[in-house]
Amino acid sequence: MKKILVPVDFSKHSEYALEVAAKIAKQHEAGIILLHMIGISDSVLANSEIAEEAEAKYYLKLAKEKIKEFTEKEYLKDISVEAIIQNYKDFTEVNNVGQEQNCDLVVMGSHGTSGLSELFVGSNTEKVVRTSDLPVIVIKKSHDDFSIKKIVLACDLDKESIPVYMKAEAFAKLFSASLEVVYINTSGANFMGFDDVEKRMESFKKELGKEINVTFYNHHSVERGMLNYCFEHDADLLVIPTHGRKGLAHFVVGSLAENVSNHAKIPVMTIKL
């Protein structure tokens, strides 16, 4: 790991993310790219050229002052930190910056006031998750001791999840952490019997090309099942595959996201399929 991209809006939640990114960077001798998007509105840009320039300079000055404060945090000592300020208004641009800067990971804060629902329902964090080609770690609280020892990958065991497993496995090795794979078997129309479950598991392992342990966890909700499993097994990180620009609809359909509890205490990593 060489570079970590951290989008910041100067909120306490983006600082939580920066703290975690700093811990990861120190562990792996990586650098940090701070990204702040000014987001000057169209109404400002519609003003006269002189007024527009003055307004832009004002916001840029404020952003530079704030980002300077962030770069001087004590926990960033001995870490290579670069700051980028852009006039982006769309958080989908984060992926472009990550690619241009050759970053390996995005670490981003989220308010998470409704558990994981903040991740799933149109927030800026969700926009980054949905459009990022890089793995994204979502941080919702301060972590005095960010230590990853056990990672849980929740996936549907479809063959397109194989690359996600490989990335999750590589990340686990990077942290010398264990990796558990869990399939949430929901009740109702999507419930699978034991034989079907066995077939899916064997097909996944065959595509993967090696033997792994897969746990099947029965629950009425995929979201609640993921969180319950992580809680019951003391996981430090939950990994979820995403379908890129299709969002997380494979895991969250309609109002199901509203059923996610506000007890998701651990970080969540998303990896694009």
Give me the DSSP letters along the chain. --EEEEE--SSHHHHHHHHHHHHHHHHHT-EEEEEEE----HHHHTS-HHHHHHHHHHHHHHHHHHHHHHHT-GGGTTS-EEEEEE----TTHHHHHHHHTT-SEEEEE---TTTTHHHHTT-HHHHHHHH-SS-EEEE-S--SS----EEEEE----GGGHHHHHHHHHHHHHTT-EEEEEEEEESGGG---HHHHHHHHHHHHHHHTS---EEEEEES-HHHHHHHHHHHTT-SEEEEEE-GGGTTTTT--GGGGGG--S---S-EEEEE-
The torsion angle over the Cα atoms of residues 152, 156, 157 and 161, rounded to 10 degrees, is -80
The pLDDT-based confidence of 7 (bands split at 50, 70, 90) is very high
Please give the share of the chain, as a percent, with pLDDT higher than 70: 79
Amino acid at 25: A
Q: Kindly report which listed range (25-29, 122-126, 135-139, 236-240) carries the lowest average pLDDT score.
A: 122-126
Task: Give exposure, 161-180, as e/b (b: 16+ Cβ within 10 Å).
Answer: bbebbebbbebbeebebebb
Give residue 263's pLDDT. 45
Name the pairing type of β-strands 136-139 and 268-272. antiparallel
Among residues 129, 34, 133, 47, the alpha carbon closest in space to that of 85 is found at 34
Give residue 211's pLDDT. 92
Residue written as token pair 């090795």? 173
Give residue 247's pLDDT. 46
Flag whether pLDDT at 260 surpasses 60. Answer: no
Residue written as token pair 């966890």? 217
Q: How many residues are recorded in the chain? A: 273
Flag whether pLDDT at 121 surpasses 80. Answer: no
The pLDDT-based confidence of 272 (bands split at 50, 70, 90) is confident
Angstrom CA distances, 96 to 5, 32, 93, 127, 209, stand at 11, 16, 5, 13, 33
C-alpha to C-alpha distance for 37 and 86, rounded to whole angstroms: 5
C-alpha to C-alpha distance for 155 and 12, rounded to whole angstroms: 31
Residue written as token pair 């942290």? 175
The pLDDT-based confidence of 241 (bands split at 50, 70, 90) is confident
C-alpha of 41 from chain center = 27
Angstrom CA distances, 31 to 9, 68, 95, 102, 104, stand at 19, 16, 17, 11, 10
Which domains are assigned to the chain? 1-142 (3.40.50.620), 147-273 (3.40.50.620)
The pLDDT-based confidence of 251 (bands split at 50, 70, 90) is very low
